[in-house]
Structure 1
């Protein structure tokens, strides 16, 4: 960890909060990253986008907070149990990172339906590969099928103490589905199968409605300073 080199980016438009500028602290890309080192960085609030490992470093905003599910204590609520029952027939195929046109086409449809007007709704195949198919750590792709129909694709990193949920996209045209909820439940179950303690869900922003779903998976822990604290214990102070 002491040999890592860091640099801070120039300000750029925030992708989460309109009219705000953001900065990130980035690990120098020439460092030979491995899974053990990345696991230590995750505990300090870093995330991965392709080969780039970063964390927010905004001078006047501290809205992005890392959260993780404490797997051994998690118990699904009634709505989550319904989601699990509805989709547990899906066939999950765990694979090495690779490009498939079918996956990319689903990604494009998902972005167009869920994030129209954002920075990712017209991603090229190269941008898709740079974002999701490049990794220096232990990563895998999980494709979910209903019979022969591709419904969802999820990307996860395997860490010494847990799994990191990198990104998930799914078929936006299947009505009354709850793929997002089911996917997190599936990853929690995989953590248990592998004997891992945490599912890292990335950043949570209180003012961002699309991130509110993360707080439904309790007990949740949140990184404040250099300490992971129970979300319910400090939620009123956030």
Structure 2
């Protein structure tokens, strides 16, 4: 990968580890040197090349026998709400959404722990402490915002979002587990789309899509979604699902 100053960026390949999506598969990643001082400058380019941020690590799946993870983004200008997405906005019309600094608060951490214990029980993440929250969601070199969702002044969700030159990147969202029926994850994405449109940013990067995966296939429901195939971003509608 090159940069505007035509400097080579060092990439590291991790050892194989357990896949976070399939119990019967092993995974490995390609990681950009986290010590490279130019990382803030090339982060946007990395997103456009299918990379993703977790804490201060910018990575891309590089598995030996599986290519299920496909980078996905939404072109903001052409996005149109589906009927179910309009219903989601109606269900949450009493929810306010405001940007907050990317600094952990006791209120945020309490919600984060309850979310992990509900969604990821016995998976390791449910034991996260304050330093784990900071390492996973915040950082010093990226422009990160916390989109706080509140109802009656109570914090019910947080969407961790990075701002880059050509869009927003949805890093991670956690919300009140007892409000699962409100589809707060979808609501967070719809609000991020609104902010990108207000700021005249062309894309919302949504990480990885996995065809037919029960937890990852939902991303194709956003109209006009694009996926990275080789070095080209193509409309997801162009993919032949039978070939995946």
Scaled to the shorter chain, the TM-score interval is: over 0.9
SS of the residue 2:223 aligns to: coil
Corresponding residue number in structure 2 for 1:75: 80
Which of residues 2, 7, 10 is equivalent to 2:15?
Answer: 10
CA distance in 2, matches of 1:129, 1:92: 22
Corresponding residue number in structure 2 for 1:98: 103
Worse-superposed segment, 170-179 or 71-80: 170-179
Corresponding residue number in structure 1 for 2:90: 85
Worse-superposed segment, 86-95 or 150-159: 86-95
Q: Which 4+ runs in 1 deviate beyond 3 A?
A: 33-36
Which of residues 184, 191, 194 is equivalent to 1:179?
Answer: 184
Say if 2:35 is the partner of 1:30.
yes
Q: Structure 1: which 5+ residue stretches go unaligned?
A: none
Deviations along 1:48-98, whole A, 9 cap, x unmatched? 111111101111111111001111111111111011122133222212210
Alignment of 1:48-127 (within 5 A): 48-127=53-132
Corresponding residue number in structure 2 for 1:151: 156
Q: Provide the TM-score with structure 2 as the length reference.
A: 0.93
The answer on whether the counterparts of 1:67 and 1:223 sit within 8 Å (CA) in structure 2 is: yes
Q: Size of the alignment, in residue pairs?
A: 238
Say if 2:46 is the partner of 1:41.
yes
CA RMSD of aligned residues (A): 1.4
Q: Provide the TM-score with structure 1 as the length reference.
A: 0.95
SS of the residue 1:76 aligns to: coil
Q: Structure 2: which 5+ residue stretches go unaligned?
A: none
The answer on whether the counterparts of 1:50 and 1:130 sit within 8 Å (CA) in structure 2 is: yes
Corresponding residue number in structure 2 for 1:139: 144
1:208, CA displacement in angstroms? 2.1
